[in-house]
């Protein structure tokens, strides 16, 4: 039976644009569908947030803000975000559809990879993360499930910044374990996740690719967290003998327990990975590892339920825990993995985890970390008939919501209003208690009604300095945009003279405002060609300009040591404080003078000009001769390029 038929979204047109064709996978945060954008006739992956999360208005706002930020990250190894929106209680992202598989599938099927294959996957992952790090993003959830491998062999990283937008993870132990396997120590201890946390996770992923198993395993999240805090990641060669020392060093550097001892970001780690590759022989890169257990589940793997396809039995799909990735597995990966790798190999030290009761000290150390991840003990109440649940009201009009609540026997408190980028004006954006929460019969619910997108006005900026204008824009929630500098006879140099949109115009928060800044009154650049550098510098500085002397000198008709050229040229408009670049002359180039005696005037003139000289003709009386009798500089001698050669004709 095809379970996708039971999904109410399958077959629907979401937001009047996205036709939902099939459910791909279900994660802890969202369900992923294959859909078609009917406007662009494009297949894409549609990630729809679970209703219980969509009930949290603050989370939805943050989720969409982060999605907008990630959408600006354009890189060939990053899964693209096309669009975001909401229809009623359905909050969604439209993302790039990637036919292929993910790295978890590869590890589950093949176990340990050849070093060359591992580096072939690691390097594009680091390239994607490096672009994100330099743009100010941190992934915070790097793991094999988020590494997609397309049918065309391209490697892409999914879910930048989205999974960790959730305030808490799913409360099942297995789901937490899959994530904590890649957490850096500082994430566990303080919840901080900088670029070096992504570096740590990549080091763990590299270890797993080289050995086929995770470096830290256990029967509970507590055991895995404790190992991250107190034990170094072992050398891959300890599990797979024969691996090169350079690979051990790469893993050790990336997974140092102290962040300061790791590479600063993915760009730095990528450079080290390329150095390691360059240091390895082909035999070391292509070494076929003994087949290890595929993915070493040992109870610590987090898998999301997968919906089987009814038509193509050879296809399958996976979704990473917590979000459901936009990648769809429809064919086997085209990675060049060893076809003859033996099955069933289990690396030393990973055959089983020794069961032992954690000490009180260890439990105390990890309880805070588990609370940080949102793992708590569920509290169950006995339903004695005194409780009901708050019905779904998100996206409904206030009238519809009030009716639903009163029909459920609940009171409705006076409504509050707030701005929302997600919910239409006049619809319910939040309820307190949240929809689905247990509440006593006759209890009261407070609704928050959307005012629609918040609009702010562009403040008065004219006359402010550029830094003051930028500060004023940020203060009201707008973003400083492109700066254009123009001459202005009246406005002081460096002050703002205009903006786009103009002052008083309404704009949405975070919108960019372009600024026009005065360059002051224009100045005509003085002409200094032919002057000494000292005299030229003095004249320009007196005019309020700065001077830069070009490092290279050039041949020119000007005397050696004088100014051969200036930029901007004489008469060009410049602003006070602008820089004029001076090029110093090496003097004219000396070139050989052609011998033109005996030639006629026309051919002699042509030859001399072609050689780089000016020509003056003197005719002897009577002026009927046309043959050159003499020239001012004899043929074969040298003269300055551009100088004048005088030629004289014979008389009759």
Q: How far apart are CA 89 and CA 372, in angstroms?
A: 28
Contact 586, 635 (CB under 8 A): no
3-state secondary structure 5-30: HHCCCCCCEECCCEEEEEEEEECCCE
Q: How far apart are CA 417 and CA 427, in angstroms?
A: 10
Helix axes 195-211, 115-134, angle to 10 degrees: 170
Contact 293, 212 (CB under 8 A): yes
User: C-alpha 104: how far from its chain's center?
Assistant: 23
- For 271-304, letters b (16+ CB in 10 Å) and e give ebbeebbeebeeebbebebbbbbbbbbbebbbbb
Contact 439, 388 (CB under 8 A): yes
> DSSP label at 4?
G
DSSP string, 398-450: HHHHHHHHHHTT-EEEEEEEE--SSSPTTBEEEEESPTT-EEETT-EEEEEEE
Q: How far apart are CA 420 and CA 422, in angstroms?
A: 5
- For 390-414, letters b (16+ CB in 10 Å) and e give bbbbbbbebeebbebbeebebebee
Residue positions annotated with a catalytic role: 141
- For 435-452, letters b (16+ CB in 10 Å) and e give bebebeeebebebbbbee
- Bridge partners (DSSP) of residue 99 are 328
**Non-local CB neighbours of 354 within 8 Å, separated by 6+ positions:** none
- Per-residue CA distances from 574 to 488, 578, 580, 652 (Å): 12, 6, 9, 60
Q: How far apart are CA 108 and CA 209, in angstroms?
A: 10
């Amino acid at each position: 039976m095809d379970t996708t038929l039971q999904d109410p979204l399958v077959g629907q047109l979401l937001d009047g644009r996205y036709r939902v064709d099939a459910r791909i996978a279900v994660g802890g945060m969202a369900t992923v569908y294959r859909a078609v954008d009917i406007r662009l006739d494009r297949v894409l992956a549609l990630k729809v947030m679970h209703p219980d999360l969509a009930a949290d208005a603050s989370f939805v706002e943050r989720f969409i803000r982060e999605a907008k930020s990630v959408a600006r990250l354009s890189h060939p190894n990053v899964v693209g975000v096309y669009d975001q929106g909401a229809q009623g209680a359905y909050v969604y992202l439209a993302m790039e559809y990637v036919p292929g598989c993910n790295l978890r599938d590869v590890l589950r099927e093949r176990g340990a990879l050849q070093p060359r294959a591992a580096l072939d996957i690691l390097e594009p992952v680091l390239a994607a993360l490096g672009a994100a790090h330099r743009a100010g993003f941190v992934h915070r959830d790097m793991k094999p499930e988020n590494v997609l491998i397309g049918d065309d062999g391209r490697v892409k990283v999914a879910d930048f910044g989205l999974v960790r937008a959730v305030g808490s993870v799913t409360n099942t132990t297995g789901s937490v374990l899959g994530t904590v396997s890649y957490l850096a120590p500082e994430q566990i201890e303080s919840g901080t996740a900088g670029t070096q946390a992504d570096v740590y996770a990549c080091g763990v992923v590299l270890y797993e690719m080289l050995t086929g198993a995770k470096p830290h395993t256990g029967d509970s999240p507590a055991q895995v967290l404790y190992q991250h805090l107190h034990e170094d990641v072992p050398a891959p060669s300890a599990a797979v003998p024969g691996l090169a020392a350079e690979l051990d060093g790469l893993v050790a550097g990336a997974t140092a327990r102290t962040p300061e001892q790791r590479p600063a970001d993915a760009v730095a780690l990528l450079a080290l990975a390329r150095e390691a590759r360059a240091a390895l022989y082909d035999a070391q890169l292509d070494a076929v590892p003994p087949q290890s257990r595929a993915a070493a589940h040992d109870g610590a793997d987090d898998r999301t339920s997968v919906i089987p396809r009814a038509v193509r039995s050879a296809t399958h799909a996976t979704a990473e825990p917590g979000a459901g990735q936009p990648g769809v597995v429809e064919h086997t990966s085209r990675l060049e993995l060893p076809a003859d790798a033996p099955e069933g190999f289990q690396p030393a030290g990973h055959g089983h985890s020794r069961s032992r009761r954690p000490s009180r000290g260890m439990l105390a150390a990890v309880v805070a970390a588990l609370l940080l991840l949102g793992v708590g003990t569920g509290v169950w109440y006995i339903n004695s008939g005194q409780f009901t649940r708050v019905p779904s009201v998100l996206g409904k009009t206030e009238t519809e919501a009030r009716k639903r609540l009163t029909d459920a026997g609940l009171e409705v408190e006076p409504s509050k209003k707030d701005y929302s980028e997600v919910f239409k004006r006049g619809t319910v954006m939040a309820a307190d208690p949240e929809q689905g929460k247990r509440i006593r019969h006759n209890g009261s619910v407070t609704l928050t009604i959307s005012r629609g997108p918040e609009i702010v006005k562009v403040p008065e900026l004219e006359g402010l300095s550029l830094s003051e204008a930028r500060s004023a824009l940020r203060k009201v929630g707008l973003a400083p945009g492109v700066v254009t500098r123009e001459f202005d006879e009246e406005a002081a140099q460096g002050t703002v003279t205009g903006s786009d949109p103009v002052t008083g115009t309404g704009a949405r928060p975070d919108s960019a405002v372009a600024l026009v800044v005065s360059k002051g009154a224009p100045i005509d650049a003085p002409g200094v060609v032919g002057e000494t550098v000292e005299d030229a510098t003095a004249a320009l500085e007196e005019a309020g300009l700065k001077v830069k002397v070009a490092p290279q000198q050039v041949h020119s008709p000007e005397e050696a040591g004088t100014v051969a050229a200036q930029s901007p040229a004489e008469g060009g408009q410049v602003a006070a404080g602008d820089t004029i670049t001076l090029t110093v002359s090496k003097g004219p180039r000396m070139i050989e003078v052609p011998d033109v005696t005996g030639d006629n005037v026309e051919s002699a003139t042509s030859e001399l000009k072609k050689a780089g000289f000016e020509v003056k003709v003197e005719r002897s009386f009577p002026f009927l001769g046309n043959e050159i009798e003499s020239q001012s500089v004899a043929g074969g001698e040298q003269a300055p390029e551009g100088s004048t050669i005088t030629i004289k004709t014979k008389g009759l």
